[in-house]
Amino acid sequence: MNFLAYALGGAGGGEGGSGGFGAFLPLILMFGIFYFLLIRPQQKKAKAHKQLLGALKKGDRVVSSGGLHGLVTGITDDVVTMEIAPKVRVKVTRGSISGVAGKG
């Protein structure tokens, strides 16, 4: 009958539950790691890209996300007109500008 006491957990020797916090501690740590390694750097990058698009002006040399290099000749709220060759202008969405190469 002694084995029945062990099977029912009656003679565990002080083994108790660690509570709710101990069970959620690994999840909290994983969220912290994800925040500092993935979420926070992505937010910084998005903020820098938004500032770059806000500071965009005529005469800047830009690179689009598709790889087009050109000179900004016109800007509206959503569209940037780029001159990619003499007398060749294309319109791209403002969000597709990935970087500024320098002044014209």
Residues 58-91 pLDDT 10s:
999 999 999 999 999 999 999 999 999 999 999 9
Provide the number of structural domains found in the chain: 2
Give pTM, 2 decimals: 0.69
pLDDT at 18 over 70: no
Same domain, 51 and 63: no
Report if residue 15 sits inside a domain.
Answer: no
Q: Amino acid letter at 9?
A: G
Per the rule left: phi > 0, alpha: psi between -120 and 50, beta: everything else, 14 is left
Same domain, 101 and 72: yes
Residue 94: predicted pLDDT: 94
User: How many angstroms separate the CA atoms of 78 and 88, rounded?
Assistant: 20
For residue 98, what are the domain limits?
57-104
Same domain, 51 and 73: no
Report if residue 7 sits inside a domain.
Answer: no
